[in-house]
Amino acid sequence: MLYSLVSAAEKRERFRTRLATGELLVMPGAFNPLSAKLIERKNFDGVYVSGAVLAADLGLPDIGLTTLSEVATRSAQIARVTDLPTLVDADTGFGEPMNVARTVQVLEDSGVAGLHVEDQVNPKRCGHLDGKQVVDEASALRRIRAAVTARRDANLLVMARTDVRAVEGLGAAVERCKAFVDAGADAIFPEALIGLEEFETMRAAFDVPMLANMTEFGKSELFTTRQLADVGVNIVIFPVSLLRLAMGSAVRALDTITREGSLTSMLDEMQHRADLYELLDYESYSAYDTSIFNFDVPR
């Protein structure tokens, strides 16, 4: 009932333990707390909070318009409803190294298990669009060092994301990731790799865990979890998938209302009221309410 009974510290410790096994962890993107509960119900390994999804949810494009407070608020709302670890997109850290440090501590307070900071210029743009720009290596490393030194819980995972592949090529991306590891990054997120061979090459370049982004309609091919596991990837995210599917269904529903005047023909495609109530654990709320308000009003 209400929120998870597992502390943020324990979630972080569990996340670290799972990553240490070397197995692939699958973390779909939640577009709200309810979808995070569904991800847990379906036995996934963790929940991802995408900056692109948060921006879209606010009716904004993914071009660095969201604020730290907006990201922290949504991250806290999602992290508190599930026992799973939550990994959040912290964009560029919302400013210079001191801002990055504050971002880490604010997100740490929101209860997430990990976050990633990227090396795009600020404000950033979607990692799968053309025309991206990255900061120089020294500036990128200052962000990561700031993030690593700012955390108070040593188990908070600090991941470094690089967008260099699309700007300077794979070789430059490999070298930047190595520098990130030397700067203290716990894990690496090389964005917009092309071909499974590039994931394999990147994976062989360093020892810390690596994340693969399987976002639809982007630069990277959509590989299966088995293919990614076979080349040594440790985390795979599906950041915008649930939002895209939900919005696709919403479009079809609105068109059906216009065409047919009702949604009767789409009832089989909807989550049933009973399934929603089960996911929300209505029964425990009812039992709690009954146990507290179990008195009669004198007449």
Task: Indicate which residue of 125, 126, 145, 151 is catalytic.
Answer: 126
Query: Active site includes 186?
Result: no
Active-site residue 289, yes or no?
no
Among candidate residues 12, 40, 45, 62, the one labeled active-site is 62
Closest C-alpha to 121, from 108, 139, 109:
139
Check 118, 119, 163, 186 and give the catalytic one.
Answer: 118
**Is 155 in the active site?**
no
Verify whether residue 191 is a known catalytic residue.
Answer: yes
Annotated catalytic residue, options 128, 213, 234, 244 = 213
Q: Considering 12, 16, 40, 89, which one is annotated as catalytic?
A: 89
Burial of 134 (0-12, 13-18, 19+ CB in 10 A): buried
Of 191, 203, 234, 244, the active-site residue reads 191
182 is catalytic: no
Return the amino acid letter for 166: A
Question: Which is the catalytic residue, given 91, 108, 163, 186?
Answer: 91
Residues 6+ apart with CB under 8 A from 127: 118, 120, 161, 163, 166, 191, 192, 213, 218
> Which of 262, 136, 149, 134 is closest to 191 using CA atoms?
134
Q: Which residue has the tokens 């308000």?
A: 293
Active site residue 91: yes
Q: Which of 48, 128, 163, 165 is catalytic?
A: 48
User: Is residue 116 annotated as a catalytic residue, yes or no?
Assistant: yes
Catalytic pick from 16, 161, 165, 176?
161
N-term to C-term CA, the chain: 33
Q: Do residues 163 and 177 make contact, with C-beta atoms less than 8 angstroms apart?
A: no
283 is catalytic: no
Q: How many Å apart are CA 216 and CA 30, to the nearest integer?
A: 15
Residues annotated as part of the active site: 48, 62, 89, 91, 116, 118, 126, 161, 191, 213
